[in-house]
């Protein structure tokens, strides 16, 4: 298994509180991604990173911010959590191929977040 | 939408039977990938097929790609109870992140 860990694995929080999820990799892969998975929607990309301090928005980025100060860590922050952000969050990593193309993705175990 | 659409949404078969699931899409792609997700776990990459390839095999898995019809199929032969999972197709339209479909839930009954 690719060396990807997510913390915390479970979190319950209240509306309006800030929440930070952490993704840590030991593979030295260039790309890191944050997804959310909800019934009926499949997997949707929130933000991704293509290098230290280089990030870009995904399909559902509103209400989320990210930071990547080191190759191995990618943080996802909900500045003020809402009930609509209750979801399972997955981190993924991928290598960079020739020409900058992204390779297959390896996923972390997920974080189950409940916002009351 | 760049998202692939899996069909069927759910599939239930007996152990030993073959399982076929399909993915249709609307955009041009560099490659198409299939992933498996066991309940409560992260996704696991199964196979990648590039736009210039028509068929790939990996163990009991066979993937086909028809770019003219913008469709792909995943065949699992001689299915086992352990194959019970959700299966997702993911498209790579260009040098952009993968776009995942909503998945097919496969149940293999022993």
The whole-angstrom distance between A37's CA and the closest CA on chain B is 9
DSSP states along A41-77? TEEEEEEEEEETTEEEE-TT-TTEEEEEEETTEEEEE
Interchain CB distance below 8 Å, B88 and A42: yes
- Looking at every residue in chain B, the average pLDDT score rounds to 94
- Contacts B98 to A, Cβ<8 Å: 45, 102, 105
Residues of B in contact with A109 (CB under 8 A): 41-42
Q: Which residues of B8-100 form beta strands (DSSP E)?
A: 10-14, 19-24, 31-37, 43-50, 55-58, 61-66, 71-76, 85-92, 99-100
Q: How far is it, in rounded angstroms, from Cα B15 to Cα B84?
A: 10
CA distance A100 to chain B (A): 7
The answer to whether residue B28 scores a pLDDT higher than 80 is yes
What pairing do the DSSP bridges indicate for beta strands A42-51 and A31-38?
antiparallel
How many other C-beta atoms lie within 10 A of the C-beta of residue B83?
19
Q: Which residue of A has its CA nearest to B30?
A: A101
Contact A41 B3 (CB under 8 A): no
- 3-class SS of residue A98: helix
d(CA B101, CA B83): 19
Does the beta-carbon distance from A109 to B42 stay under 8 Å? yes
CB B99 within 8 A of CB A105: no
pLDDT in tens, B39-93: 989 999 999 999 999 999 999 999 999 999 999 999 999 999 999 999 999 998 8
Contact B95 A33 (CB under 8 A): no
Which residues in chain B touch residue A30, judged by CB atoms under 8 angstroms apart? none
Hey, are the CB atoms on A102 and B95 less than 8 Å from each other?
yes
Minimum Cα–Cα distance from B39: chain A residue = A109
Torsion of the alpha carbons at B33, A24, A28 and A50, rounded to the nearest 10: 60
Kindly report, residue by residue over A51-110, the tens digit of the pLDDT: 999 999 999 999 999 999 999 999 999 999 999 999 999 999 998 765 556 678 999 999
Mean pLDDT, range A20-29, rounded to an integer: 96
User: In chain B, pLDDT over 90 holds for what percent of residues?
Assistant: 83
Q: Hey, are the CB atoms on A101 and B41 less than 8 Å from each other?
A: no
A33 touches chain B (CB under 8 A): yes
pLDDT computed for residue B22 by the predictor: 97
């Amino acid at each position: 298994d690719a060396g990807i860990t997510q913390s915390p694995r479970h979190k319950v929080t209240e509306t309006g509180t800030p929440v930070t999820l952490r993704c840590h990799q030991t593979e030295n892969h260039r790309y890191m991604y944050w997804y959310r998975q909800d019934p009926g929607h499949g997997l949707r990309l929130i933000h991704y990173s293509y290098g230290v301090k280089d990030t870009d928005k995904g399909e559902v980025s509103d209400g989320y911010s990210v930071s990547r100060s080191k190759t191995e860590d990618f943080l996802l922050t909900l500045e003020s959590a809402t009930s609509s952000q209750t979801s399972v969050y997955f981190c993924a990593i991928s290598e960079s191929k020739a020409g900058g193309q992204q390779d297959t993705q390896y996923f972390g175990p997920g974080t189950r977040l409940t916002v009351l | 939408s760049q998202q692939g659409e899996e069909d069927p949404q759910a599939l239930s078969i007996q152990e030993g039977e073959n399982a076929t699931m399909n993915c249709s899409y609307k955009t041009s792609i560099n490659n198409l990938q299939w992933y498996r997700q066991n309940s409560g776990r992260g996704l696991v990459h199964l196979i990648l097929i590039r736009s210039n390839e028509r068929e790939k095999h990996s163990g009991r898995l066979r993937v086909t790609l028809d770019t003219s019809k913008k469709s792909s199929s995943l065949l699992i032969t001689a299915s086992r109870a352990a194959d019970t999972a959700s299966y997702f197709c993911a498209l790579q339209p260009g040098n952009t992140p993968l776009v995942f479909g909503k998945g097919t839930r496969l149940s293999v009954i022993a």
